[in-house]
């Protein structure tokens, strides 16, 4: 149980799995409840803080190291940080957990590749399959499925509301919702 209340909800999964959608929905529900939270979206960070990085293994590792350090800073201030980042390898998630420390919650935003491809409004999977985007996770770049995530959300099987409720219940259960006991927090949402 955290005495600070801060936590890092580290959402990992393929492009198109629903990480950003789920992150923003969770952020909205936390805001409604008066819980300080922030979303660190991998795509947004790649356009700013991490715009100098590509998609090689070394660049991905550095990208995620930076995200984890920013997340840790917010967590230390009592925020629930929602990091929506592909983080394709076990080593990336392990390193993020070590950097963040207490309050790290690994969430596998789990959707089959064919579902992710069907959701792809940007056409990234088509471009990756044609060879236009090298090292694209799930096509020419590997994605190591989390072995023991704290929460596994199958976004092709549950509604967004159910997914958010699952995450809120987990946050309450592990003591990361601003002093609300788990039972009260689950009913408050």
Where does the pLDDT of residue 178 fall: very low under 50, low under 70, confident under 90, or very high at 90 and above?
Answer: low
Closest Cα partner for 30 from 4, 7, 11? 7
Query: Is 17 annotated for ligand binding?
Result: yes
Query: Is 73 annotated for ligand binding?
Result: no
- CA 52 – CA 82 distance, rounded (Å): 23
Query: Is 179 annotated for ligand binding?
Result: no
Residue 87 appears among annotated catalytic residues: yes
The pLDDT of residue 148 is: 96
Helices (H) and strands (E) in the chain, counts: 8, 5
All structural domains of the chain, each given as residue ranges with its CATH number in brackets, are 7-188 (3.40.50.300)
Query: Is 141 annotated for ligand binding?
Result: no
pTM of the complete model = 0.89
Output 132 or 2, whichever has higher pLDDT.
132
67-122 confidence digits (pLDDT tens): 999 999 999 999 999 999 999 999 999 999 999 999 999 999 999 999 999 999 88
Query: Is 169 annotated for ligand binding?
Result: no
Strands (E), the chain: 7-12, 37-41, 80-84, 104-110, 151-154
Which of 2, 3, 51, 87 does the annotation list as catalytic? 87
């Amino acid at each position: 149980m955290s005495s600070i209340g801060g936590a890092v909800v580290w959402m990992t999964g393929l492009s198109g799995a629903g990480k950003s959608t789920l992150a923003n929905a969770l952020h909205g529900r936390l805001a409604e409840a008066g819980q300080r939270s922030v979303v660190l979206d991998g795509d947004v960070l790649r356009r700013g803080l991490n715009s100098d990085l590509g998609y090689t293994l070394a660049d991905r590792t550095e990208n995620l190291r930076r995200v984890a350090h920013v997340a840790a800073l917010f967590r230390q201030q009592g925020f629930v940080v929602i990091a929506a980042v592909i983080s394709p390898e076990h080593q990336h998630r392990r390193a993020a957990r070590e950097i963040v420390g207490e309050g790290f919650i690994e969430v596998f935003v789990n959707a089959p590749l064919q579902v992710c491809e069907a959701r792809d409004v940007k056409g990234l999977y088509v471009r990756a399959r044609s060879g236009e985007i090298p090292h694209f996770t799930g096509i020419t770049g590997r994605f190591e499925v989390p072995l023991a995530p704290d929460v596994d959300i199958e976004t092709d099987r549950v509604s967004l509301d159910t997914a958010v409720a699952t995450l809120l219940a987990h946050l309450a259960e592990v003591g990361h919702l601003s002093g609300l006991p788990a039972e009260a927090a689950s009913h408050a949402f």
